[in-house]
C-alpha cells in the first residue's frame, strides 16, 4: 500500500528526534498509540488513516512453472532471459 504524507513545506526538509521510554513494558501496538497521542498533544499533529481499493496486477506461476534462466552478469549489467526474449537492466 502506498503511503502519503502532507503538511507544510518544512515537513519535507526538517527532521526531529524524539526520545522517550514507556513507564511499563508494553507492546509495539500500544507504544504506537501512546506515541500518536504524545505527538497530537505536544505538537498538535493530526493523523488520518484511510484504506483505499485499487486495481493491481498479480504475477503467478503458470502450469509449467517459471521459464526464467539465470545469465551471467556482464560488466555490472544483469541480464535475465525469458523464453527467447532477454531483458537487460543496469
The pTM score is 0.44
d(CA 1, CA 4): 10
Its domain, for residue 11, covers 1-63
In a domain, 75, yes or no: no
In a domain, 55, yes or no: yes
In a domain, 46, yes or no: yes
In a domain, 88, yes or no: no
pLDDT, position 2: 58
In a domain, 32, yes or no: yes
**Overall domain count for the chain:** 1
In a domain, 81, yes or no: no
C-alpha cell at 77: 549489467
Helix (H) or strand (E) holding 89: strand 85-89
In a domain, 82, yes or no: no
Convert 41-55 to b/e letters by CB count within 10 Å (16 or more is b): eeeeeeeeeeeeeee
Per-residue pLDDT tens for 14-72?
888 888 788 889 999 999 899 889 888 988 888 777 888 889 898 888 888 887 777 66
Amino acid at each position: 500500500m502506498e503511503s502519503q504524507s502532507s503538511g507544510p513545506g518544512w515537513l519535507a526538509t526538517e527532521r526531529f528526534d524524539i526520545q522517550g521510554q514507556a513507564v511499563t513494558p508494553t507492546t509495539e501496538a500500544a507504544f504506537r498509540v501512546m506515541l500518536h497521542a504524545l505527538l497530537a498533544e505536544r505538537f498538535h499533529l493530526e493523523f488520518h488513516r484511510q484504506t483505499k481499493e485499487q486495481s493491481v496486477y498479480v504475477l503467478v506461476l503458470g502450469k509449467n512453472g517459471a521459464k526464467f534462466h539465470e545469465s551471467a552478469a556482464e560488466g555490472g549489467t544483469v541480464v535475465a532471459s525469458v523464453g527467447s526474449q532477454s531483458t537487460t537492466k543496469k
